[in-house]
Amino acid sequence: MNVRTAAWPMKLIPVAEAPARVAEIVAALAAGGLACFPVRGAYRLAADARSVDAITRLMQSKRRARNHPTLILVADLAAARSFVDGTTWQTTERLAERLWPGPLTIVLPPSDELSPKLKKLLTRATGKLGIRVPSDPLTSAVLRQFGSPLLMSSANLEQKPGASSAATVRQRFVNAVDVWVDAGDVKPGPPSTIVEITETSWKIVREGAVPLADLERATASA
């Protein structure tokens, strides 16, 4: 299935020009398109997290089997409240205050503010959502200018490597992506740490860039 839109042929932006051309990335996202740019050692796909059509395009482009929590990028914890519950839980607040922005994904239950269709689409993998406040400059700038949460996923097909290779990413997603920031091959980095939180407990779902010791210090009583 061709998931391109005729109104937005793929635009290539050299990474050196990206800081000055954030508005072009934002315009593509606002039009329901997909953007692809490097984030922490891998290319990532981004879409408007409020748009059923944009989310469907992203998942179709990846042939996603949906076995991982969906990642939503937010500007801050307050911006996550329309997507997840538990933002006022003590553990959530402590982790957000002490470790965001950064490579920490917090998994929480979906908010009842989400429309039924959007909730079903975003949570069908695990019944929950991952949220993160990014720290890299380009993603942060896109998020600020876009003004709403973004869905983000690695630029690879399900169960396939290659998200750090510019040639592989371009070959696989040239017919799906509307704007692509080309940084050449990028050096792979550690994944984000994923922590699942309930009102009374927390657990590590995936070890990553934020070590256990930092999590324990962040969640400890002041």
Residues composing the chain: 222
- pLDDT on residue 57: 92
- pLDDT on residue 1: 33
Residue 87 lies in a domain: yes
Owning domain of residue 30: 11-219
Tally the domains of the chain: 1
First to last CA, the chain: 53
What CA–CA distance (Å, rounded) separates 49 from 112?
15
Q: Is the pLDDT of residue 3 over 80?
A: no
pLDDT bin (cut points 50, 70, 90) of residue 5 is: very low
What CA–CA distance (Å, rounded) separates 22 from 15?
11
pLDDT bin (cut points 50, 70, 90) of residue 175 is: confident
Q: Is the pLDDT of residue 4 over 60?
A: no
Q: Is the pLDDT of residue 65 over 60?
A: no
Residues 6+ apart with CB under 8 A from 110: 83, 84, 85, 119, 122, 123, 127, 128, 129
Residue 210 lies in a domain: yes
- pLDDT on residue 85: 97
Q: Is the pLDDT of residue 29 over 90?
A: yes
- pLDDT on residue 216: 96
Stretch 92-97: mean pLDDT: 96
pLDDT bin (cut points 50, 70, 90) of residue 114 is: very high
What CA–CA distance (Å, rounded) separates 71 from 175?
23
Residue 206 lies in a domain: yes
Residue 5 lies in a domain: no
Q: Is the pLDDT of residue 222 over 50?
A: no
Residue 211 lies in a domain: yes
- pLDDT on residue 6: 43
Residue 3 lies in a domain: no
Residue 6 lies in a domain: no
Residue 80 lies in a domain: yes
Segment among 2-11, 78-87, 153-162 with least mean pLDDT: 2-11
- pLDDT on residue 10: 83
Model-level pTM? 0.90
Of the chain, the percentage scoring pLDDT greater than 90 comes to 76
Both tokens of residue 213? 């010791």
DSSP assignment, residue 110? B
- pLDDT on residue 160: 64
- pLDDT on residue 64: 57
Stretch 173-201: mean pLDDT: 93
- pLDDT on residue 124: 81
pLDDT bin (cut points 50, 70, 90) of residue 68 is: low
CATH number, residue 53 = 3.90.870.10
* pLDDT tens, residue by residue, 132-146: 999 999 999 999 999
Helix axes 22-30, 137-146, angle to 10 degrees: 50
Both tokens of residue 148? 């709403």
